[in-house]
A and B are shown apart, each in its own frame.
Chain A
Amino acid sequence: MTTRLLTIALLAALTVACGDNKASATSPTSTTTTSATTVIYTGTIDVGGSRFYSFTNVAAGTVTAFLASVTSPDTKLPVDVPLQIGIGTPAGTDCVTTMTQIVSPALVPQMSASLAAGVFCLRVADAGELRAPVSFAVRFSHP
Chain B
Amino acid sequence: MTSDLTSKFDTRRPLKVTALFIAAALAVSACHDKNTATSPTSTTTTTTTTVATPTTTELFSGRVAVGGSTFYAFNVVENGTVNVNLAAVGGANVPSTVWLGLGIGTPSGEDCATTSTTNTGAGTAIQLTGTYAPGTYCVRVWDIGNLLAVAAFNVTIAHP
Contacts and interface: CB of A to CB of B under 8 A. Distances in A.
Interface of A: 2-3, 6-7, 10, 13-14, 17-18, 21, 25, 43, 51-56, 89-93, 118-119, 121
Contacts of A6: 17, 20
21 contacts: A3-B13, A3-B20, A6-B20, A10-B21, A10-B24, A17-B28, A17-B31, A21-B34, A25-B38, A54-B73, A54-B106, A54-B109, A55-B109, A90-B73, A90-B136, A92-B58, A93-B62, A118-B135, A119-B106, A119-B107, A119-B136
B124 interface: no
B134 to A, nearest CB: 9
B31 to A, nearest CB: 5
A68 B82 CA distance: 39
A118 B76 CA distance: 12
A18 B71 CA distance: 64
A118 B135 CA distance: 7
B71 to A, nearest CB: 7
A8 B21 CA distance: 12
Nearest to B62: A93
Is chain B's binding surface mostly helix, strand, loop or mixed? strand
Interface of B: 13, 16-17, 20-21, 24, 27-28, 31, 34-35, 38, 58, 60, 62, 70-75, 106-110, 135-136, 138
Nearest to B107: A54
B106 A56 contact: yes
Contact of A93 (B13, B71, B109): B71
